Structures are given as structure tokens and as C-alpha cells.
């Protein structure tokens, strides 16, 4: 036991891995028994935590990391992670269709949070899941969902409008980040679960708490078997997992029992149609999912589908508050394309065109404040990338947030907010066509990117047409890495009714 569970994985393998990498010139902080670098990373983050930035300063990297430049290795517990910064290597790894690069191992808490759905499944299972789910994300389907997105956004805007008009000056101060979280959860819940959206919101609250636990546990010392001990934290995690599963099961049961001519054309409906095909005794074929897989997919879509879009909206409002001239330009564009009407599939398509300012602003926000700070992969076998031999099972970290500031690729103004860099389209904004990694690239790139952009555009157009906004004096600029990039102290904003 000592040999298999302690000496080999926690002493022998890290020692050999470090030696092999050192021989190739890849260095990094020393491995520490059980802890790896987790404690040091935690200390480094704590030390940088007091660093508050000016709102015009978009280089928040010193708050979350102290690395750049050359590839190096660090230790997540006993597991080596090789951090690379090279765009060509990143392209090779992310675009590989050979199945040579898998998603990296994840901790049990992150797995409970995210579910073993499309983001984490591999190989033929991934192909099967993606085939079932792809039809829910065609542009036509997403355009049809605009109505739901707009209806949800209208409720939020109306509430804010009432708040503002009850004040003489037509102003209200709100924590917009929280509003966006509720709104995007509402939207994904309606679009994925239809009439069971209220249960979806319950699931969202359980998932939110699981996320907090996941963030806290991520940099803890990795003691083997610790997650199975009956601690208070592990108990809470188990209770939340049960609640989340139970709620999702309830949503599924209610859909199964209300079947009319089909299960519906939303995401859940599509997955259930695929599931029933298996249930009816056909062999596991290319278009089938089990109920358990559907539960995992629901978790995946709930997390991947609301948190990221809510952050895109949050950081965009932050930037438009700091650059009021851009806010005014976007308002004019929204009024020109949508007039007094609410956005709909057609006028939003116009805002979607690459040359539109709204698209450029969202892309620039994703470059500077993309929700995912890095991408991770691990090779299935020993592999050479560039001239570096990467042994199998060594995680590869592609730090998109750092790479989005590479001056050689993006030019000297990388730390500045300059949406016009995207005026000729996303592939011509930098020296390489795949420079923007916010949605990743290659076969595992984000399936929900069109959904997210359309949702963000609907919401932003509706806000811009009703309000002007500035940062509240209470806003503190301190972006923080909590699995995704978030404003540490939220986004308090003063909204002013335009026709006040
Ligand atoms: C601004 C919003 C969003 C951002 C920045 C974003 C970012 C990403 C990134 C970086 C990946 C690749 C992860 C990797 O390679 O390891 C990804 C994958 C994924 N995203 Fe998104 N995402 C967003 C919105 C959404 C939405 C709205 C949905 C669903 C409704 C969604 C569902 C997914 C799924 C299912 C995958 C896995 C795809 C696969 O592996 O086949 N995302 N996303």
C-alpha cells in the first residue's frame, strides 16, 4: 500500500518527471511532498490579493500569477503541469483530431460541479454526446431561442426601470454582476428545461454552492483519499450533489410523464429522444444517451451555459462604464439596428456581423477579461510538441489570459481596450488567425459560443436602450480567479434612465 499509494505516485514519479523535464531545459519550482506547489500558489495569490488596480489598468495578471515567457513546470499536488505560451504549440494541441490530447484530470468536487458531460467526456463517448447535442445549437435553433432570452431580460430590465423611476433623479445603484447571474441562469433554465425552469433555478443554487466548495478545495494539500473522509465539508458536498441530482431527476421525470407528440425541441427534449431510443432496446448507437448521461449533461450545460455569459456581460458593462464614448457608440448602434423594438433574431443578426461595434466590444472583452483563464490538456502517449518531449499524463496548461497579452502577436497595445483591433474580423485581429482563445479552438471548442454571443447582445442592447451607466464609487477593481475570472467585490453600477 505504502509503495503503491504513497512512494510511487508521490515521491518516485514526481522525481523522475522533474528530472526528465529538467534535462530538456524545462524548469520550475521544486516539488514538495503531497503539497506540490499548491501552498506556494495560494500564498502568492494571498500576497497579491491586496493589490487594487486603477479601473483603466487591464493588466490584472500580477493579481493571479507571477509567470510569463518560457515554458515551465509546476506541481498540482504530485501531478506535473507544463505551462506553455507558444501559439503554434497551442494550435497543434487544441486542433488535434487524433484523440491524442485528452482533457486533464479533474478533482472530485469539480466533477460533481460540472458533471461528466460534453466538457469532460472523451473519445467515442464525446462524439456520441456531441452528435446528440449539436442540433440544439444550430443558428436557426438559437435564433428561435432569442424570444425566450429577450422575455427573461425584459423582466430584469423592467425591475431595474421600476427601481430607477421610483427615485426622483431616475437613478438606481445595483450589483449588476448578481443580476446577470440570476438572468443567465433564468435563460439557460428556460431554454434547456422549458416549463420546468423553476426547478432549474433550484438546481442552480445548489450548483453555486458546490462551486464555492470547489474553489476553496482546489489549492488544498492533496491528501490521497481525503475526499472520502466524513468531514463536514465532504458531507455538505455530498448533500449538495444529492440535491442537484434529485432536482435534475425531477425535471426529467416531469418531462417524461408529460410526453405529447414528443419530448420537445429544447436541449432536454433532444437528449430524451436520444435516450428513449436506447431504452427501447436498440443497441447503444451513435445517437443515444442514458438517463445518467443526461443528468451529467444538464449539470454541464447549467454551469458552462450561465456563469461564462454572465461574466461576459459583467466585464462588458465594466469596460463600457470606464469608456463612456464606447457606451454611447454602442447605444447608437443598438438604437439604429433595433429601433424602439425589443431585439429579435433578425435585428440581432445585424448586430452579430463582425464589423458591428457590439461584436468588436464583446471580442475585446473576451480578450482582456475572458472567463476561462487557461485551457488544459494531457497527452495520451509520450508526444513531441515543438522540440519538447511531453511525457504521457503530464498536464499541459495553455494560459489564454497571458497569451492574449503577447505583444508579438497582438501588438504593443495589448493592455489597452481597443475593440477596433477586431474591425476586420476575429481571425485578422492579430498576427495569427487563432489568437483569440476565449472559446478555445479545434474540435473541443465551445459549442455554446453563438448562443452566448446572441444572449449577450440581446441583453446588452436592451440595457443600452433604457439606461446609461457608470461605475459606483464603491467599485473596487480587483479581478480574481475563482475557477472563472470574476470581479472580487462585484460590479456595483449606477444606472440612469435615459428618458428621466
Ligand atoms: C462567454 C461565454 C462562454 C465562454 C467564454 C465559453 C468558453 C468555453 C471554452 C474556453 C471551452 C473549451 C474548454 C476546453 O477546451 O477545455 C468551452 C467548451 C464548452 N462550452 Fe462554452 N463558453 C461560453 C458559453 C457557453 C454556453 C452559453 C454554453 C451552453 C449553452 C457552453 C457550453 C460549452 C460546452 C458544452 C463545452 C464543451 C464542448 C466540447 O468539448 O465538445 N458554453 N466553452
Q: What is the CATH number of the domain that holds 410?
A: 1.10.630.10
pLDDT of residue 423: 94
pLDDT of residue 467: 97
What is the rounded CA–CA span in Å between residue 237 and residue 231?
10
Give residues (CB < 6 A) around ligand 1. Answer: 103, 118-119, 130, 300-301, 304-305, 308-309, 312, 370-372, 375, 438-440, 444, 446-448, 451-452
What is the rounded CA–CA span in Å between residue 314 and residue 126?
31
Distance 383 CA to ligand 1 centre (A): 26
Q: Are 296 and 471 in contact (CB under 8 A)?
A: no
**Looking at beta carbons, which pairs linking 252-257 to residues 24 or more positions away fall under 8 Å?**
252/291, 252/294, 252/295, 252/298, 254/196, 254/199, 255/193, 255/194, 255/196
For residue 191, which atom of ligand 1 is closest to its CA?
30
- Of 200, 2, 137, 64, the closest CA to residue 486 belongs to 64
What is the rounded CA–CA span in Å between residue 423 and residue 449?
19
What the block records as the C-alpha cell of 94 is 487544441
Residue 19 lies in a domain: no
Nearest CA to ligand 1 atom 20: 446
Give the CA angle between residues 482, 488, 490 to the nearest 5°: 120
What is the rounded CA–CA span in Å between residue 179 and residue 468?
16
For residues 359, 360, 364 and 365, what is the CA-based torsion angle, rounded to 10 degrees? -40
Distance 129 CA to ligand 1 centre (A): 14
Residue 399 lies in a domain: no
Residue written as grid cell 421525470? 253
Q: Using most ligand atoms within 8 A of CB, pick from 207, 289, 304 the residue to mutate for ligand 1.
A: 304
Residues 267-324: tens digit of each pLDDT: 888 788 777 655 554 545 556 788 899 899 999 988 888 899 999 999 999 999 999 9
What the block records as the C-alpha cell of 402 is 497571458
Distance 445 CA to ligand 1 centre (A): 7
Distance 170 CA to ligand 1 centre (A): 38
What is the rounded CA–CA span in Å between residue 121 and residue 432?
29
Distance 436 CA to ligand 1 centre (A): 14
Residue 137 backbone dihedrals phi, psi, to 5 degrees: -120, 20
Q: Are 110 and 207 in contact (CB under 8 A)?
A: no
pLDDT of residue 142: 86
Distance 451 CA to ligand 1 centre (A): 10
- Of 202, 194, 191, 205, the closest CA to residue 301 belongs to 191
For residue 192, which atom of ligand 1 is closest to its CA?
30
For residue 452, which atom of ligand 1 is closest to its CA?
27
For residue 443, which atom of ligand 1 is closest to its CA?
41
Residue 493 lies in a domain: yes
Give the CA angle between residues 320, 325, 326 to the nearest 5°: 45
What is the rounded CA–CA span in Å between residue 358 and residue 331?
9
Domain count, the chain: 1
- Of 281, 276, 277, the closest CA to residue 252 belongs to 276
For residue 455, which atom of ligand 1 is closest to its CA?
27
- Of 343, 347, 353, 365, the closest CA to residue 439 belongs to 365
For residue 377, which atom of ligand 1 is closest to its CA?
16
164, with CB counted inside 10 A (0-12, 13-18, 19+), is: buried
Residue 61 lies in a domain: no
pLDDT of residue 368: 98
Nearest CA to ligand 1 atom 16: 375
Nearest CA to ligand 1 atom 14: 375
Classify each residue of 220-236 as buried b or exposed e, where b means 16 or more C-beta atoms within 10 Å of its C-beta. Answer: bebeeeebeeeeeebee
Distance 167 CA to ligand 1 centre (A): 40
Q: Using most ligand atoms within 8 A of CB, pick from 113, 448, 454 the residue to mutate for ligand 1.
A: 448
User: For the chain, which residues score pLDDT lower than 50?
Assistant: 281, 283
For residue 267, which atom of ligand 1 is closest to its CA?
30
What is the rounded CA–CA span in Å between residue 359 and residue 308?
17
pLDDT of residue 216: 77
Nearest-Å Rg of the Cα atoms of the chain is 23
Nearest CA to ligand 1 atom 39: 444
Distance 180 CA to ligand 1 centre (A): 18
Distance 118 CA to ligand 1 centre (A): 9
Q: Using most ligand atoms within 8 A of CB, pick from 308, 454, 455 the residue to mutate for ligand 1.
A: 308
For residue 133, which atom of ligand 1 is closest to its CA?
35
Residue 38 lies in a domain: no
pLDDT of residue 207: 87
Distance 85 CA to ligand 1 centre (A): 21
Residue written as grid cell 472520502? 228
Distance 46 CA to ligand 1 centre (A): 29
Residues 190-246: tens digit of each pLDDT: 888 887 778 888 888 888 888 888 887 766 656 666 667 777 878 888 999 999 999
Nearest CA to ligand 1 atom 18: 446
Q: Are 110 and 391 in contact (CB under 8 A)?
A: no
What is the rounded CA–CA span in Å between residue 395 and residue 253?
39
Residue 6 backbone dihedrals phi, psi, to 5 degrees: -115, -60
446 is in an annotated binding site: yes
Structural domain of 102: 97-372+404-497
Residue 173 lies in a domain: yes
Residue 215 backbone dihedrals phi, psi, to 5 degrees: -65, -45
For residue 129, which atom of ligand 1 is closest to its CA?
41
Residue 47 lies in a domain: no
Distance 447 CA to ligand 1 centre (A): 6
Q: Using most ligand atoms within 8 A of CB, pick from 446, 452, 485 the residue to mutate for ligand 1.
A: 446
Residue 380 backbone dihedrals phi, psi, to 5 degrees: -75, -35
Nearest CA to ligand 1 atom 11: 446
Residue 86 lies in a domain: no
- Of 225, 221, 212, the closest CA to residue 43 belongs to 221
pLDDT of residue 351: 64
Amino acid at each position: 500500500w505504502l509503495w503503491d499509494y504513497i512512494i510511487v505516485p508521490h515521491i518516485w514519479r514526481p522525481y523522475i518527471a522533474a528530472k526528465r523535464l529538467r534535462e530538456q531545459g524545462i524548469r520550475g519550482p521544486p516539488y514538495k511532498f503531497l503539497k506540490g506547489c499548491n501552498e506556494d500558489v495560494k500564498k502568492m495569490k494571498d500576497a497579491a490579493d491586496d493589490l487594487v488596480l486603477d479601473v483603466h489598468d487591464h493588466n490584472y495578471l500580477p493579481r493571479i500569477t507571477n509567470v510569463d515567457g518560457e515554458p515551465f513546470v509546476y506541481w498540482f499536488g504530485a501531478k506535473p503541469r507544463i505551462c506553455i505560451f507558444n501559439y503554434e504549440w497551442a494550435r497543434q494541441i487544441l486542433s488535434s483530431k487524433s484523440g491524442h490530447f485528452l482533457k486533464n484530470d479533474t478533482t472530485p468536487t469539480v466533477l460533481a460541479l460540472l458533471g461528466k458531460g460534453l466538457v469532460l467526456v472523451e473519445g467515442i463517448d464525446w462524439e456520441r454526446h456531441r452528435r446528440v447535442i449539436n442540433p440544439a445549437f444550430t443558428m436557426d435553433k438559437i435564433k428561435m431561442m432569442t424570444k425566450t432570452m429577450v422575455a427573461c431580460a425584459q423582466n430584469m430590465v423592467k425591475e431595474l426601470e421600476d427601481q430607477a423611476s421610483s427615485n426622483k433623479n431616475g437613478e438606481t445603484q445595483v450589483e449588476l454582476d448578481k443580476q446577470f447571474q440570476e438572468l443567465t441562469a433564468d435563460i439557460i433554465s428556460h431554454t434547456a428545461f422549458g416549463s420546468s425552469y423553476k426547478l432549474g433555478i433550484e438546481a442552480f443554487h445548489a450548483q453555486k454552492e458546490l462551486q464555492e466548495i470547489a474553489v476553496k478545495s482546489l489549492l488544498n494539500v492533496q491528501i490521497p483519499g481525503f475526499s472520502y473522509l466524513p468531514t463536514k465539508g465532504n458531507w455538505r458536498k455530498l448533500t449538495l450533489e444529492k440535491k442537484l441530482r434529485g432536482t435534475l431527476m425531477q425535471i426529467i421525470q416531469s418531462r417524461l410523464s408529460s410526453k405529447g407528440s414528443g419530448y420537445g425541441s429544447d436541449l432536454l427534449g433532444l437528449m430524451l429522444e436520444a435516450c428513449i431510443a436506447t431504452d427501447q432496446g436498440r443497441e447503444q448507437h451513435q445517437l443515444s444517451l442514458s438517463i445518467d448521461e443526461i443528468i451529467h449533461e444538464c449539470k454541464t450545460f447549467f454551469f458552462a451555459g450561465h456563469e461564462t455569459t454572465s461574466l461576459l456581460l459583467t466585464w462588458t458593462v465594466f469596460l463600457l462604464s470606464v469608456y463612456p464614448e464606447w457606451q454611447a457608440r454602442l447605444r447608437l448602434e443598438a438604437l439604429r439596428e433595433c429601433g424602439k423594438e425589443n431585439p429579435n433574431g433578425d435585428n440581432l443578426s445585424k448586430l452579430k456581423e463582425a464589423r458591428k461595434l457590439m461584436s468588436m466590444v464583446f471580442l475585446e472583452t473576451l480578450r482582456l477579461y475572458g472567463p476561462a483563464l487557461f485551457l488544459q490538456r494531457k497527452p495520451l502517449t509520450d508526444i513531441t510538441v515543438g522540440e519538447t518531449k511531453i511525457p504521457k499524463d503530464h498536464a499541459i496548461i495553455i494560459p489564454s489570459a497571458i497569451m492574449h497579452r503577447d505583444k508579438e502577436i497582438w501588438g504593443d497595445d495589448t493592455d489597452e481596450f481597443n475593440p477596433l483591433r477586431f474591425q476586420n474580423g476575429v481571425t485578422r485581429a492579430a498576427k495569427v488567425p487563432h489568437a483569440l482563445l476565449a472559446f478555445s479552438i479545434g474540435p473541443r471548442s465551445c459549442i455554446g459560443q453563438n448562443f452566448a454571443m446572441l444572449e449577450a447582445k440581446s441583453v446588452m442592447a436592451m440595457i443600452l436602450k433604457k439606461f446609461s451607466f457608470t461605475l459606483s464609487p464603491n467599485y473596487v477593481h480587483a479581478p480574481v480567479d475563482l475557477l472563472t475570472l470574476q470581479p472580487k467585490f462585484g460590479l456595483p453600477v449606477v444606472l440612469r434612465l435615459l428618458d428621466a
